[in-house]
Structure 1
């Protein structure tokens, strides 16, 4: 990739890195796993960036790559995230330090969401990100009607988990 493409990628990633942090928060249990998954998603985004055509917003594309990476690693390793060597990448991305205290109010909700299956987790995540059903369906590769039906079912599941 040329220098301009690299700079564009770094800029877009820095502007949208909270998306990746939120995905990591849903699919990991501690800081080390969070950092490993963040790194793996970043690598996958970098590898896929030349194929990004701009048909959707960068953030929507980023959600899709990030969620697919998290789900694949989660299923493959059963909660032990394997990482790849990052030394081959020639640039540095300034990373905001992830502050666990910022999301203390959501701790109960996150623990309930972690009990859901992978697709339901992704659905809740996108819903909480104020994505409309059209964006959710595009990101997850399902129909808009299916996204609405699944979301209603997930809400009922979460109510049962939170209020046994």
Structure 2
């Protein structure tokens, strides 16, 4: 790979790494698993980056790759994430500190969201990221109408979980 491609990837990843951290938080329960999943998502993004055509925003593409990686690994290993060596790549990404001490309401919301199935988790995540239904549907590969209907049903489920 050429240095310009590598440089562009690192810049985009550093600018958007919170997306990956948030997805990792949804699909893991501890810091080690979080870091392992972050690494695996980064590897998958790096492998797929040369094929990124720019048809959508980088962040939308990144959501899709990160969510697919998280869901695939979650299903395969039931919360045990395997990592791969990252040999042959010479860049280093400076990770931001990720603070696990968040308000009690946010913890309750994450706990409630973890009770949802994989696709519903992804939909809620994108919704909470203020993505519109068009972007949600593109990222998840479902119709806009389906995304709206699913979101309304999920809101009901979350209300039931949070307010028994």
TM-score by length of 1: 0.97
- Which consecutive aligned stretches of 4+ in structure 1 deviate over 2 angstroms post-superposition? 86-89, 102-105
Q: What's the counterpart of residue 16 of structure 1? A: 16
CA–CA separation in structure 2 for the residues paired with 1:24 and 1:46: 17
Structure 1: segments with no counterpart, 5+ residues: none
Mean Cα deviation higher: 89-98 or 144-153: 89-98
CA distance in 1, matches of 2:105, 2:147: 27
Aligned with 1:81: secondary structure? Answer: coil
Aligned-CA RMSD value? 1.0
Partner of 1:101: 101
Q: Name the structure 1 match of 2:45.
A: 45
Residue 60, structure 1, aligned to residue 60, structure 2: yes
Deviations 1:64-92 (A, max 9, x none): 00000000000000111111112332210
CA distance in 1, matches of 2:103, 2:21: 12
For residue 90 of structure 2, what is the aligned residue in structure 1? Answer: 90
Give the unaligned 5+ runs of structure 2.
Answer: none
Relative to structure 1, the CA distance from residue 97 to residue 104 in structure 2 (aligned partners, 3 Å threshold; closer, same or farther) is farther
Q: CA deviation at 1:132?
A: 0.1
Is 64-73 or 91-100 further displaced after alignment?
A: 91-100
